[in-house]
Amino acid sequence: MISDQNRHQEVRSARTRRSRAQDTYDLEVTYYENPSNRKCYKAVNEKNAPANIILDALFDILERAEKGQIVIRSIMLYNPNEPMGW
């Protein structure tokens, strides 16, 4: 007979495997291209992209901001597979 604890572990493992297979995210970033002219800004929109694509895009943007090439206005990251976004 399977104990309740083992059953819960099996359910969690199945959910983890399923969520890893379906991990897609939406990333929306707005930023100022020219830090001295904040009237003009651009947006990056990645929809239903795998986690590795989202992380690459996010790290590229953060690297540009660190170098002073852009000023980030907003970053929004969503998991469309979750009811509340996470």
Would you say residue 55 has pLDDT above 70? yes
Report pLDDT digits (tens) over 21-33: 468 889 999 888 8
Would you say residue 3 lies in a domain? no
Would you say residue 32 lies in a domain? yes
Would you say residue 16 lies in a domain? no
What is the residue range of 38's domain?
A: 25-86
Would you say residue 55 lies in a domain? yes
Would you say residue 8 lies in a domain? no
Would you say residue 17 has pLDDT above 80? no
Would you say residue 81 lies in a domain? yes
Would you say residue 17 lies in a domain? no
Residue 5's pLDDT band (cuts 50, 70, 90): low
Would you say residue 46 has pLDDT above 80? yes
Report pLDDT digits (tens) over 63-84: 999 999 888 999 998 888 777 6
CA 76 → CA 7, 15, 26, 36, 73, distances in Å? Answer: 36, 25, 8, 24, 10
Would you say residue 2 lies in a domain? no
Whether this model's pTM surpasses 0.85:
no
The domain tally of the chain equals: 1
